[in-house]
Amino acid sequence: MRSRRDVLKSAVLGGGAGVVAATALGSLGPEAAFAAQKSFATQQVEPGAPDPNFAEGRIRSIKDNTLLVLGSNMVFHTIRVVDGTSLWKLGPVPFDQAKPGDGLYARGVLMPDGILAAEAVWLNIVNIKGHIRNITSQTIHLDHNGQDVLCHVVAGKSVAVHSESPPTADLSMLKVSQHVQIMGAWRPDTNEVDIATVFSPH
Amino acid sequence: MHGIAASQPYVIALFLAWAGLMKLFGRRTRAQAGRTALARLTGPARAVPALRLVGLVETALAAALLAPPFHPLEGVAAALMSVGFLAYLTYSHVAAPTASCGCLGTHSRPVDARSFARAGLLLAAALLATAAAGAAPALPSVIALEAVVLLALSAELDRHWLTPLRRLVVRVRRPLAVTPSRDVPLEASLHLLRRSLAYCSASAQITSDVLEAWDEDGMRFVVYGARERTAVFAVPLSGNDPAGVRVALV
């Protein structure tokens, strides 16, 4: 009895006999891509109208696999998380990591009963630009439009991308007063962020 | 005590002269006047004349404080001016929390605790100066100490001393230095993945973010949802060539 991971592994490495509909690189022809675009085009949203398949806000309560979310425009969203839903909180996380108070962006399919069946949920994700005011032990003090944001380096998760070079776990090349863009996970109700990626222009 | 009080007019005068001359003759100061909280108070069109007027009053008061003999009324005028500064800082903190105060030249930092501390120190100095009684000589050490404290409280000068100092501390102590580890962060693999032809060819099918990821045999396997199917990528853990990334839709 092979595990699910073994099946996926053999599919992608090409050794998988009996794997249904496995596609190696190259066989995803343009017709597949165009088919995807066509179905996307039929669902396209009117300019200015809210996208029904998208929700944002902060989690008010969690019941079973359903999140009740209050949007920043004071609209409530009900979001269902299923097995195939990806959750991000500084990386892929299981559903029990979603907590009331977390901010989120969710994308999925709006069901006829008004529930958004989520395909992907990003918890507390932020993308901020600013200047490094100071660097102390495993933290970067960011000046974002005059506001202090305390950014924590998380060992094994945070990476730095300098210009076009490949990402590195070594963040020690960053300099005080330089401009950076930081993607990370906000710690709710604080001015603190856990760093996923620091983008540096040089 | 009298010596300390007698030193205050010089401290205040030096500081007001700096502030006044920056406002009167600083080209960049005038250019950025529209972005200060003063522009909010007076309207953008009157920001430059208002800045000039404040600069003129500051310079005149500085000259009066420096010119002997010292009159207690000059101390009172300086105290009133400091109260005015505090009121203006409070206004800008409330009405334009993101604008800089435009007090001493240009910088983009909004009003913060240091600005209030600086204006508060000026007020204390001015109140002390009103008590200065004629004959006592000024103490150069007191003047120097107070000037240093006032300059340290000025965010305008941070780039001349605070930023280099912090850079030096970072260079010496290396707070972000990590012990070399063989663990590759997932984010690093995902950057490689997103630049690969395999990802570009499959991206139209992908509907979710990363569902799961695990390492095996020098590869990192990353699974995405792709409509009713699953997209599984194999990303090499070593090397930086996106051509090594493979994909299968299962």
Q: Do both B33 and B111 map to the same domain?
A: yes
As a whole number, mean pLDDT of residues B224-243 equals 90
Query: What is the rounded average pLDDT of the residues A141-161?
Result: 92
B159, B200: one domain: no
CB-CB under 8 Å, B232 with A177: no
Written as one string, the DSSP assignment of A103-140 is EEEEEEEE-TTSEEEEEEEEESEEEEEEEEEEEETTEE
Q: Do A134 and B166 touch (CB under 8 A)?
A: yes
The pLDDT value given to residue A154:
92
> Would you call B186 and A91 a contact, using CB atoms and an 8 Å cutoff?
yes
pTM reported for the whole predicted model: 0.80
Contact A96, A62 (CB under 8 A): no
Question: Is it the case that residue B142 has pLDDT exceeding 50?
Answer: yes
Please report, for chain A, the start and end positions of each structural domain, with discontinuous segments joined by +.
Answer: 54-123, 125-200
Residues B145 and B213 both lie in one domain:
no
The superfamily (CATH) of domain A54-123 is Copper binding periplasmic protein CusF (2.40.50.320)
Nearest CB neighbour to A175, from listed B167, B210, B224: B167
CA distances from A198 to A132, A172, A188, B171, B190 (A): 11, 11, 20, 19, 14
What is the chain B residue with the closest CA to A30? B201
The verdict on a CB contact (< 8 Å) between A28 and B247 is yes
Is residue A117 within 8 Å of A107, Cβ to Cβ? Answer: no
Range of the structural domain that residue B55 is part of? 2-173
Residues B13 and B129 in one domain: yes
Cβ-contact A89, A188 below 8 angstroms: no
Task: Verify whether the Cβ–Cβ distance A166 to B188 is below 8 Å.
Answer: yes
> For residue A105, which residues of chain B lie inside 8 Å, CB to CB?
none
Pick the last residue of a domain from B139, B173, B207: B173
pLDDT band at A145 (very low <50, low <70, confident <90, very high): confident
Q: Is pLDDT above 80 for B138? A: no
Q: Is residue B57, in this structure, part of any structural domain at all?
A: yes
What's the mean per-residue pLDDT of chain B? 86
CA distances from B214 to A156, B207, B248 (A): 14, 20, 16
| Residue that terminates a domain, selected from B151, B173, B195 | B173
Highest mean pLDDT among A119-128, B8-17, B185-194: A119-128
Could you tell me if residue B180 is inside a domain? no
CATH number of A125-200: 2.40.50.140
Per the structure, the count of domains in chain B is 2
Length of chain A: 202
Question: Where does a domain end: B173, B201, B229?
Answer: B173
* B241 lies in some domain: yes
A153 CB neighbours in chain B (<8 A) are: 176
Q: Is the pLDDT of residue A79 over 80?
A: yes
Rounded Cα gap, residues B209 and A183, in angstroms:
15
What is this model's ipTM? 0.82
Q: Tell me the C-alpha to C-alpha distance, in Å, between residue B206 and each of A77, B87, B210, B236.
A: 24, 57, 10, 20
- Tell me: do B107 and B167 sit in the same domain: yes
Q: Label residue B113 by pLDDT band (50, 70, 90).
A: confident
The angle at the Cα of B236, spanning B235 to B242, to the nearest 5 degrees, equals 70
Structure-block tokens of residue A121: 């949920």
- The answer to whether B198 contacts A20, with C-beta atoms less than 8 Å apart, is no
Contacting residues of A for B197, CB less than 8 Å apart = 25
For residue B107, how far is the Cα from the chain centroid? 8
Residues B248, A23: C-beta atoms closer than 8 Å: yes
DSSP designation for A154:
-
Establish, for the pair of chains A and B, how many residue pairs have beta carbons separated by less than 8 Å: 161
Q: Which residue type is seen at A198?
A: V
Residues B234 and B146 grouped into a single domain: no
Q: Chain B: nearest CA to A191, how far in angstroms?
A: 16
